[in-house]
């Protein structure tokens, strides 16, 4: 049983590894486990292909975001302005 769990993983572990690999943070052992699991599990295979698609959409869209500090500055300005108004 213990030996088995080293290579065969359950779906919860598989999807997490799948997410990690989208950010290039999965080790080669992780990837091996994931691919083995994908051979056996149709649901995870579907999730994996959707997940890859999501990553490519996100990179294609070239999204930008304000950092948290910039947002904090904005919030403060809004707050002081709305106080002035009252």
Partner 1 sequence: MPKNTLNPSEWVDLYADYLFNYTIGRVNDTEIAQDLVQETFLAALKSADNFRGNASERTWLVSILKRKIIDHYRRSNSAKGQAEVKINFPIGSDESEGDWLEERVADKRRMNIEDSIQNEELGLAIQKCIDKLPKKQADVFTMKTILGMDTEEICNELNITPSNLWVIIHRARTALASCLKSNWF
Site residues (vs partner 1, CB under 8 A)? 15-16, 19-20, 22-23, 25, 47, 50-51, 53-54, 57-58, 60-68, 70-71, 74-75, 77-79, 81-82, 85
Q: Which of 49, 50, 38 is nearest to 13 (CA)?
A: 38
Q: Which two tokens stand for residue 37?
A: 């699991």
Q: Where are the alpha helices (DSSP H) in 41-67?
A: 42-61
Handedness of CA 9, 12, 13, 16 (dihedral sign): positive
Is 40 or 79 the residue whose CB approaches partner 1 more closely?
79
Q: Give me the least distance between CB of 40 and partner 1, in Å please.
A: 20
* Least distance (Å) between residue 79 CB and partner 1: 7
């Amino acid at each position: 049983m213990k030996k088995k769990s080293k290579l065969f993983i359950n779906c919860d572990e598989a999807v997490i590894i799948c997410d990690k690999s989208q950010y290039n943070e999965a080790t080669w052992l992780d990837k091996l486990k994931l691919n083995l699991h994908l051979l056996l599990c149709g649901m995870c295979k579907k999730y994996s292909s959707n997940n890859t698609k999501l990553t490519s959409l996100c990179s294609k869209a070239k999204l930008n975001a304000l950092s948290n500090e910039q947002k904090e500055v904005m919030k403060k300005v809004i707050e002081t302005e709305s106080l002035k108004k009252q």
